[in-house]
Amino acid sequence: MSATSARLLTVLSLLGARARWSGEELSERLGVSTRTLRRDVGSLRALGYPVSTLKGPDGGYRLGSGGELPPLLLDDEQALAVAVALQTTPTSVSGIDDAVARALTSIRQVMPARLRAEVDAMHLTTIPNSWEFPAPPIPPDTLRAVGHAVRNRHLLRFDHRTPDGRRPDPGDPDFTPPVRAEPHHLVVWAGRWYLVAYVVPEEAWRIYRVDRIHAHAPTGAGFRPRRLPGSDVARYVMTTCDRGDTPARWQCTGSVVMDLPADVVARWAPGGSVVEYVDATRTRITLGAWSWAGIAGLLATFDADFADVRPAGLRDACRSLSRRYDRAGR
């Protein structure tokens, strides 16, 4: 395949992956000049692909309706990535097992025999709701509603369920009015899906657990993207302690107050932990493990002092581990 043909396929792939691209963004992504990009867009139009030019200061390119991608072309690494992604998705999204199986079958049909063998070799067994993925699976309708709002930059109106999955009535003490927010990013971390959104009435950024979102009808109201509190959305989620998390189900669950700032503890806390701000230098962390000794061992990895250890079983495990470490250090 010539370099030009390969680049045209890349342009098509990029245009299909996002609603709009600026000419500068596409040129930088492809490593070509804007003049070469314009020539490539003209070639695609000549082949029948409806690539629209968007006018104005924020203009660029968009693939119009009816623009279908050519037959699937995957290298070995891409084939492996697709197989793994499709087979692990049901652990965090519910009710799509049959769709995953059909998607894998469709992809196999357009692959050469060698790549089909690569995909078949990567056969995974996923365990929904396992403690390795400590969050309830997300209904596909919820994921579509939230993802559509993020992609199209539309205001999202939703109820946020309680940790036990309830939608409290107005008279319930746990009742909160529906949230109306600007959804900016979806982030998956430690088996949990998070929505990073700006809540206009509060004039504040918030992070919501997507598995607790009950989306209302689409608003269709657009918004302009805002600058995030940090330059890296992944780091922002990982270092924010107020993510709406609750402890994952473990045989043992305990908590301590640690002499570290909340953003540091949140960044390194195991998946399924809960991190709570106490003050500028102290943080309460609640976490679980198969045993009290397991929790005590996890706490040691932070290399910081801690106090207010709860419950008694965790205190006993800390004393036992202390004696064991003392003997090993002699």
* CATH number, position 14: 1.10.10.10
Q: What is the CATH number of the domain that holds 267?
A: 3.30.70.250
Q: Are 196 and 185 contacting, i.e. CB atoms less than 8 angstroms apart?
A: yes
Q: What pLDDT is attached to residue 65? A: 61
SS3 41: helix
Residue 128 located in a structural domain: no
- Quote the pLDDT of residue 182: 97
Of 235, 260, 284, the one marking the end of a domain is 235
Is 134 within a domain?
Answer: no
Task: Based on the fold, state whether residues 320 and 258 are members of the same structural domain.
Answer: yes
Q: What is the pLDDT of residue 47?
A: 78
Expressed in angstroms, the distance from the first to the final Cα of the chain is: 66
In a domain, 169, yes or no: yes
- pLDDT single digits (tens) 56-114: 766 789 887 654 545 555 666 666 677 767 766 665 666 677 777 777 777 776 666 77
Helix residue ranges per DSSP H, 18-166: 23-30, 34-46, 76-88, 97-109, 113-121, 140-152
In a domain, 299, yes or no: yes
Phi-psi region of 308 (alpha: psi -120 to 50; beta: other; left: phi over 0): left
Q: Are 178 and 213 in contact (CB under 8 A)?
A: no
Of 173, 202, 235, which residue is a domain's last? 235
The predicted structure's pLDDT at residue 129: 42
Q: Which residues of the chain have pLDDT under 50?
A: 1, 67, 69, 127-133
The count of domains in the chain is 4
Name 63's Cβ contacts closer than 8 Å, sequence gap at least 6.
Answer: 12, 15, 16, 49, 50, 51, 52
**Does residue 285 form part of some domain?**
yes
- The residue segments making up the domain with residue 84 are 76-121
> Is residue 148 domain-shared with residue 218, that is, in the same domain?
yes
pLDDT of residue 218: 94
pLDDT of amino acid 1: 46
Q: Is residue 156 part of a domain?
A: yes
Assess whether 178 and 228 both reside in one domain: yes
- Indicate if 52 and 88 belong to the same structural domain: no
Q: Which of 203, 235, 267 is the last residue of a domain?
A: 235
Residues 21, 84 within the same domain: no
Do 220 and 261 sit in the same domain of this protein? Answer: no
Residue 117 burial class via C-beta count within 10 angstroms: exposed 0-12, middle 13-18, buried 19 and up: exposed
- Asked whether residue 216 is assigned to any structural domain, the reply reads yes
Closest-CA residue to 151 (of 178, 118, 184, 119): 184
Q: How far apart are CA 88 and CA 210, in angstroms?
A: 18
Provide the residue type at 33 as one letter. Answer: S
Tell me: do 200 and 148 sit in the same domain.
yes
Is 186 a member of any domain? yes
Q: How many helices (H) and strands (E) are present in the chain, helices listed first?
A: 11, 11
Question: What is the torsional sign of CA 92, 95, 100, 103?
Answer: negative
Same domain? For 81 and 146 the reply is: no
